Amino acid sequence: EAQVTQNPRYLITVTGKKLTVTCSQNMNHEYMSWYRQDPGLGLRQIYYSMNVEVTDKGDVPEGYKVSRKEKRNFPLILESPSPNQTSLYFCASRMKGGLTRQPQHFGDGTRLSIL
Amino acid sequence: DAKTTQPTSMDCAEGRAANLPCNHSTISGNEYVYWYRQIHSQGPQYIIHGLKNNETNEMASLIITEDRKSSTLILPHATLRDTAVYYCIVSPDNYGQNFVFGPGTRLSVLP
């Protein structure tokens, strides 16, 4: 089954303790991205990657890092989490090519709470 | 990027057609209209997209006005499982393009 898998689905942690949210897709997609969703603000893109070893900042990259060493994986790293990063996070992927040819596939989300 | 305006919320009776409007009066000639939906806090799900012609797939129909300044998503026979937030997005068809999700319309399908 084609899917985007995020782990963990839920995490409560404390300020300053480094954490990584993993994202893996099994569709051989070139494009992957991370979004965060906050009440009243919709989904905002954090980082995206157009291929292996190619990453770029989205609209709200501060406080986050990503890496793309393999095509299928795109982890989101919070080196020193803070309470304002408490949010619902989504990973998405799609194939190379225009948006009209390849809709984005989203994971089921990771709910992070930073105390 | 062009902005979209959608009603905050709508109700629809189960079994009836749900018509969700979207205004995008500043849309550019190379921008498409996309619709996604998000059920509860799951990941957004693609529904349909179009440029200027009306489109239909197994989930919905998309009607775009001739001047392309507005569109309507139609769910022909709404079910309770169609209760969700529906997002109308306009964007060019570029590989690197980022989607901008606004607040969307919260559709409640009532029994």
Summarised one tens digit per residue, pLDDT across range A49-104 is: 999 999 999 989 999 999 999 999 999 999 999 999 999 999 999 887 665 656 78
User: How confident is the model at residue A61, as a pLDDT?
Assistant: 97
Residues in B touching A54 (Cβ below 8 Å): none
pLDDT digits (tens, 9 = 90+) for B8-64: 999 999 999 999 999 999 998 888 899 999 998 899 999 999 999 899 999 999 999
Among A41, A55, A95, A99, which would you mutate to test the B interface (most chain B Cβ atoms within 10 Å of its Cβ)?
A: A99
CB contact under 8 A, B51 and A109: no
The answer to whether A97 touches A42, Cβ cutoff 8 Å, is no
pLDDT digits (tens, 9 = 90+) for B55-98: 999 999 999 999 999 999 999 999 999 999 999 998 877 766 67
CB contact under 8 A, A99 and B43: no
**Chain A CA closest to residue B105:** A42
**Chain B CA closest to residue A90:** B43
pLDDT digits (tens, 9 = 90+) for A72-86: 999 999 999 999 999
Distance from CA of B18 to the nearest CA of A (A): 22
Give Dmax (Cα) for chain A: 41
CB contact under 8 A, B97 and A99: yes
The answer to whether A17 touches A64, Cβ cutoff 8 Å, is no
**Chain A CA closest to residue B103:** A42
Average pLDDT, chain A: 92
Residue in B44, B45, B93 closest to A99 by CB: B93
Residues in B touching A100 (Cβ below 8 Å): 32, 49, 51, 93
Residue count (chain B): 111
| Contact residues for B94 (Cβ-Cβ < 8 A; gap 6+) | A98, A99
**CA–CA separation, B64 and B3 (whole Å):** 16
Q: What is the DSSP string of B36-105?
A: EEE-TTSPPEEEEEESSS-EE-SS-EEEE-TTSSEEEEEETT--GGG-EEEEEEEEE--TTPPP-----E
**CA–CA separation, A34 and B21 (whole Å):** 28
